[in-house]
Structure 1
Amino acid sequence: GTPQRQAPRQQPSDAQANPAASASAQSAQRRTVKSESKETIQRISQSAAEQDPYLVELAVHLAEELEKLSIPAMSQLNAAREMTLELRILANGALTRARVKETTGIDKIDQAAYRAALSASPYPKPVGESSDRFDVKLVFTPKQPER
């Protein structure tokens, strides 16, 4: 048998996550990109956007603020609802603007999320982010009836 074990094989999969992210960042700076790799880059940047650790951090920060507010309208939920808030955040984490970009369709929940966005300032500092504008998706799920 060969002395090689499975362990070394796991390294490339771990390392792949980072080069993919940096590859999409580099390609954004270089305008000369071959057409066949454009599709790949688009896929990478889309999946990176979905899993942007900073956006996740913002969503968690907002969720914690929302927990503090009691939102009576939440009891009316019978299905999960999504909304998107656009936040403009300065380098020091201060919020300069919040706006409901995509509504849940339930005015009171949208308003509560907007108020939470304002009161959650300051936010985690957007270190290394290329923009000051962030779209944070929030998902409201109906509370399970307590048994």
Structure 2
Amino acid sequence: MKTLVSRRSEDYLRVIYEIAEAKGYVRIKDISRALGVKPSTAVEMVRKLHELGLVDYKKYEGITLTARGKEIAEAVKKRRDIFENFLKIILVPENVAKRDAHILEHQLSPETVLQIARFVEFASQAKEWIDEFRNYCEMIKRLDKKSR
């Protein structure tokens, strides 16, 4: 059975997954810090995710992803990583790439995600091509500075 979840729910699942991977356990305060929300807001969403069968949650205990929750979280994280890598390849500064990858992870069709994933894979194997692009961008920057 496919569970449809909101973008915000996907964010929570991804954050729970990432915290669990990093720390081995997840608490409400970890989620609220990571997402910049009040603990009461995090509790409310975690309860909803529990009702959907995506997390296991008991008050004052840790939060764990169910198999389905982990599957969704991994898919969201994979999409985000693809976009972040794509943006880094085209030389977007890392802090901007992280922010924009978050936006893109929810916005694009599966067909577009697949093609960007293929492009990232191709580009990561094409070192000369990436170096040429970097050189091109540096040349444009120099020309822009001269024209000012």
In our comparison, the structure showing a higher alpha carbon Rg is 1
TM over 0.5: no
Q: Which has the higher helix share?
A: 2
Q: Which has the higher contact order (CA 8 A, sep 6+)?
A: 1
